[in-house]
């Protein structure tokens, strides 16, 4: 009997893979996926060269993950989150953009010109490697006094769950007011509730107008999601049936009352916040659960986008069309939302034809009006170049490619700044993660998503996010002991 127990334990130990082995498996999967998604019109030699060009960056990221594991960092530590973000948004899904014919047409790429496209991809990988290297230099800078500095700003007053719930209701009311102001009137807002999934023309026009009071309206609107989360977590948060009923009710409420602008993020962001804090504070991370709910989230995101586009085209919903072409639609979704490669190639194409950008676009979100696009953002520059109109959608690049477009290779040294900011986020995360207060359950996902922004965000996102979109989280930060 004893021998059988020892034998079963040895089997369990032999099945368990070491962290280094799992990273090696990730390495193989990444290279394989990159290889199979390179367009067929490239020669086999070109495919080999292009795949190998990703090797230095992938190895650098995997070595960083292994080092983080050795240093005891948790899987959701902001420094690890930055590594995942580099993988997802700048490496793994890159070649999916070549499957989106409309995107190719929209950006005016000549993908049949193998030599030119190959040179773009090779240059991109060189820029990416240097950007990652300087990012890690920034994240390695010591900031030991940050915790002491932060503790000075923490309020001494502790709110009860009841008071926090009332604060959540107040936040939601402010958020609804912001939505009403963005839509234009109470009547327009109420009528828009029945088509929360469709873009609002009034909202789109207010975004395009400079000086239309958009900053104040967006500040007010940004209180909605933290308010919803305060209400949710002020209840007992055990993983039981009532918890999921409350969660479902709040999700439905959010879809109708915060989706009136038609922005998908306003509907999906609460799910992201709840999902992260649920995994951290309520349930242990289970790869199967994470995979299942991740797949469900992906389908919901695609479905909302599909319905919104059908409404925009004046067509009826045909969900048979959606699920009958789910693979193709998913690849389009991935090319627009899971990689910034299309924006990077567009910028490299512009630089190839026209030289480096003729105006400074990196700091536009801080020097210009924060309420919307201005002629000096990279997005506006690109769309003006491509279409003659400074307005467009989803021109995502990532900060590092914008630094290159403005200052060349020397600009990549500035990637130490987001690296340093991520180190600061990680410091706060590590001091908060052991606490079980209501406000911490909201602040921790915010820290994690800000780490994603440092890697995935355009330069124009930073001023808007830091200056006014984060005010509710800053206020909750003062109450983080509650």
For residue 249, the model assigns a pLDDT of: 84
Residue 442 · residue 230 · CB < 8 Å = yes
The answer to whether residue 2 is domain-embedded is no
The answer to whether residue 450 is domain-embedded is yes
Share of the chain above pLDDT 70, in %: 84
Q: What is the mean pLDDT of residues 102-127?
A: 88
- Host domain of residue 101: 41-142+342-482
Q: What is the CA radius of gyration of the chain?
A: 23
| Residue 128: pLDDT over 70 | yes
Per-residue pLDDT band at 18 (split at 50, 70, 90): confident
Residue 275 CA: distances (Å) to CA of 171, 229, 433, 441: 21, 11, 15, 11
Residue 34 · residue 92 · CB < 8 Å = yes
| Residue 356: pLDDT over 80 | yes
What is the C-alpha to C-alpha distance for residues 389 and 343, in angstroms, rounded to an integer?
A: 17
The answer to whether residue 169 is domain-embedded is no
Q: Angle CA(118)–CA(122)–CA(123) in degrees, nearest 5?
A: 115
Per-residue pLDDT band at 313 (split at 50, 70, 90): low
* Number of structural domains in the chain: 1
| Residue 161: pLDDT over 60 | yes
User: Which residues are CB-neighbours of 237 under 8 A, at least 6 positions away?
Assistant: 243, 281, 282, 441
Residue 66 · residue 59 · CB < 8 Å = no
| Residue 372: pLDDT over 50 | no
Q: Angle CA(173)–CA(179)–CA(180) in degrees, nearest 5?
A: 90
Segment among 141-150, 242-251, 253-262 with least mean pLDDT: 141-150
Cα distance from N-terminal residue to C-terminal residue, the chain = 52
For residue 68, the model assigns a pLDDT of: 93
For residue 8, the model assigns a pLDDT of: 46
The answer to whether residue 257 is domain-embedded is no
The answer to whether residue 357 is domain-embedded is yes
Structure-block tokens of residue 20: 């280094």
**Which has more confidence, 140 or 278?**
140
The answer to whether residue 11 is domain-embedded is no
The answer to whether residue 274 is domain-embedded is no
For residue 287, the model assigns a pLDDT of: 64
The answer to whether residue 216 is domain-embedded is no
């Amino acid at each position: 009997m004893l021998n059988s127990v020892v034998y079963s334990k040895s089997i369990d130990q032999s099945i368990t893979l070491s962290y280094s082995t799992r990273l090696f498996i990730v390495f193989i999967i990444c290279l394989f996926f990159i290889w199979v998604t390179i367009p067929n019109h490239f020669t086999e030699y070109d495919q080999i060269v292009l795949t190998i060009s990703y090797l230095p960056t992938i190895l650098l990221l995997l070595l960083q993950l292994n080092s983080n594991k050795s240093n005891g960092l948790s899987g959701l530590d902001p420094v690890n989150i930055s590594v995942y973000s580099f993988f997802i948004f700048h490496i793994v899904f890159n070649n999916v953009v070549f499957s989106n014919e409309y995107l190719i047409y929209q950006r005016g790429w000549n993908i049949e010109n193998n030599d030119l496209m190959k040179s773009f991809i090779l240059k991109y990988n060189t820029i990416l490697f240097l950007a990652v290297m300087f990012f890690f230099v920034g994240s390695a800078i010591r900031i030991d006094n940050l915790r002491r500095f932060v503790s000075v700003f923490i309020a001494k007053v502790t709110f009860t769950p009841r008071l926090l719930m009332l604060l959540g209701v107040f936040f939601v009311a402010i958020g609804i007011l912001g939505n009403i102001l963005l839509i234009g009137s109470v009547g327009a807002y109420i009528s828009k509730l029945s088509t929360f999934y469709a873009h609002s023309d009034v909202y789109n026009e207010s975004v395009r107008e400079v000086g239309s009071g958009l900053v104040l309206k967006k500040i007010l609107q940004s209180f909605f999601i933290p308010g919803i989360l305060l209400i949710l977590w002020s209840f007992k948060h055990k993983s039981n049936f009532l918890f999921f009923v409350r969660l479902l009710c709040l999700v439905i409420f959010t879809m109708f009352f915060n989706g009136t602008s038609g922005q998908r993020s306003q509907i999906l962001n609460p799910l992201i916040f709840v999902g992260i804090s649920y995994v951290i504070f309520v349930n242990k991370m289970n790869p199967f659960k994470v995979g299942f709910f991740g797949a469900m989230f992906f389908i919901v995101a695609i479905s909302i986008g599909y319905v919104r586009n059908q409404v925009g085209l004046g067509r009826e919903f045909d969900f048979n069309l959606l699920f009958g072409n789910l693979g193709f639609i998913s690849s389009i979704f991935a090319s627009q939302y899971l990689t910034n490669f299309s924006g990077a190639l567009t910028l490299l194409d512009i630089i190839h034809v026209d030289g480096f950008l003729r105006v400074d676009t990196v700091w536009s979100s801080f020097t210009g009006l924060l309420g919307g696009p201005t002629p000096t953002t990279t997005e506006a520059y690109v769309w003006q170049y491509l279409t003659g109109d400074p307005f467009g959608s989803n021109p995502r690049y990532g900060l590092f490619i914008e630094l290159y477009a403005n200052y060349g290779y020397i600009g990549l040294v500035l990637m130490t700044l987001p690296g340093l900011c991520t180190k600061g986020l990680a410091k706060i995360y590590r001091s908060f993660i052991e606490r079980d207060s209501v406000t911490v359950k909201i602040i921790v996902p915010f820290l994690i998503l800000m780490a994603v922004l440092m890697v995935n965000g355009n330069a124009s996102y930073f001023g808007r996010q830091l200056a006014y979109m984060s005010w509710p989280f800053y206020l909750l930060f003062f109450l983080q002991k509650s």
